[in-house]
Amino acid sequence: MSTLSDLVFAQGLASEADVEWLHRVAGDAQLLADLSFADIVMWVPTADDSFVAVAHSRPGGAATLFYRDIVGERIRPQWQAQVKDAFVQAKIVDSSSPEWFEETPTRVRAVPIAEKMEGGGLGVLGVVTRHTNLGDVRAPSRQQITFNDCADDLFRMISTGDFPDASSPTGPRRGAPRAADGLIRLDVDGIVTFASPNALSAFNRVGFADELEGESLAEVTSAILPAARDTNESLPVVVTGRAPWRTDIEARGVTVSLRAIPLRDHGTRIGAIVLCRDVTELRHQEQELLTKDATIREIHHRVKNNLQTVASLLRIQARRTKSDEARESLTQAMQRVAAIAVVHDTLASGLAQIVNFDEVFDRVLRLVAEVAAAPNTLAHTRSIGKFGALPSEYATPLALALTELVTNAVEHGLAGLEGKVEIIAERTDETLAVRVRDSGSGLPEGQVGRGLGTQIVRTLIQGELSGSIEWRTLSGDDTDLHGGEISKGTEVYIEIPLKWI
């Protein structure tokens, strides 16, 4: 399914700022659907004087009219004139009589989506339609009447560019309250005029046992909170409904999340909606995740320290040994351990078990180039392209494999010479391809070596990463299409599937 941005930009009539505002409106479409007990559809104009649906939200407490998603569809003829009137005249247009939709009587309201422009005027970006199912007629409860009144206030604010509020946070936190979780209606002085049963239950859990209606929500909240607890700076403006922010209140081991939506009539504040939700369990889970993340980072840090200690011991042993063969083996082992330590060092600095492999490989490349070069060998290393972010289960074996390949390129491909080593990375959504090239004389007798380093690379690439690896000698006639300069020497080509990322 196409995203809202794709559908809007496909019409060629909106800017980045316009799309951002439409995203803000769409972010509260579910709230509008729940408050109005109706389907909410967002429409944007097309180049041929029609409209296309770019978002759709179904009500949580009523039957939906649209059992199939209509996002991406063009507007139906029975709504065309009404939606166009709302768009052109920049005013709310209600259907004059019930309309039938698939044998169901409905009432449609079309609301222009207005955005305040820099010059002070209003620009209409699209239309929101509310489709109310009239098939299940029953006497509305006080809660339903209040919810509908709140929805009407928000629709009016959408038509005047006052909702969503430009100062409200854009990325909703996990566990953000919804209308069904608990709704409190405040007047302009912050006095509660309505509190849904779920809202009363949430405040009962934090220690308020009386009725909320007629009380100042700010005073109620102040009485609930422990005196010794530091008060969140945003709490006073949220519980008085003066700012479109969110905050949490904690008491008696219970956490209630609050979201305030100031209500305005042509810019004048007339009250507020405060949504509330008991998020105690969610906050506990978040805290557990943070604790686990901190523990995992500490483990990576300690593993890195231990690996660096092992690498240092191997370096000391290599310096003291008198056997050239033993010294070379210890040096190579030190490089392998150090390469793995670099990955753990990177993992220790972030919450996610994903690393920026370009940063990791830059450090590994410097390490290998310094250690691998013999006194009479001068290697110029160059990295081309981007590896991107990789999970740790990819990063560790790939770092170790590339360490082996670059070491071999320097020690064997450029033995006793001055030359170049290039590492070319090409990444797509499906694969990561890496070419390691040196400007040496090519594979001896055209044969791939059978040493420990080659065995390690094959095991890592083919066994752990389910990839493929190929060695070949480059001829001077080879044409490079990947940004590299080396056209003669040895190339190792690795291809790794990224199906698990």
Label residue 20 left, alpha or beta by phi (over 0 means left) and psi (-120 to 50 means alpha). alpha
Q: How many CA atoms lie within 13 A of 254 on its CB side?
A: 15
CATH fold of 179-278: Beta-Lactamase (3.30.450)
* Contact partners, residue 61, CB within 8 Å, separation at least 6: 34, 37, 180
Which CATH code of 3.30.1490.100, 3.30.565.10, 3.20.20.70, 3.90.1150.10 fits the domain covering 373-501?
3.30.565.10
Specify the pLDDT at position 463. 86
Q: Is the entire prediction scored with pTM above 0.75?
A: no
pLDDT of residue 94: 95
pLDDT at 254: 92
Torsion of CA 6, 9, 14, 20, to 10 degrees: 20
Instruction: Tally the residues of the chain.
Output: 501
Give the pairing of strands 468-474 and 489-497: antiparallel
pLDDT for 138: 72
Residue 22 is predicted with a pLDDT of 95
Q: What is the pLDDT of residues 353-388, one digit of tens each?
A: 677 888 888 877 877 766 555 566 777 888 899 999
For 170-199, write each residue's pLDDT tens digit: 655 567 899 999 999 999 999 999 999 999
Copy the structure tokens of residue 276. 């509330």
User: What are the residue ranges in the chain where pLDDT is below 70?
Assistant: 1, 137, 170-174, 227-231, 290-291, 293-297, 300-301, 343-344, 346-353, 369-376, 444-447, 449, 476-483, 500-501
Report in angstroms the alpha-carbon separations of 253 from 206, 217, 280: 8, 20, 8
Same fold, 4-159 and 373-501: no
User: What is the structure's pLDDT at 322?
Assistant: 83
CATH topology for the 4-159 domain: Beta-Lactamase (3.30.450)
What does the pLDDT read at residue 391?
Answer: 85
User: Where do the domains of the chain lie?
Assistant: 4-159, 179-278, 283-352, 373-501
The DSSP 8-state label assigned to residue 55 in this structure reads E
The strand ranges marked E within 266-377 are: 268-278, 354-356
Residue 373 has what pLDDT? Answer: 55
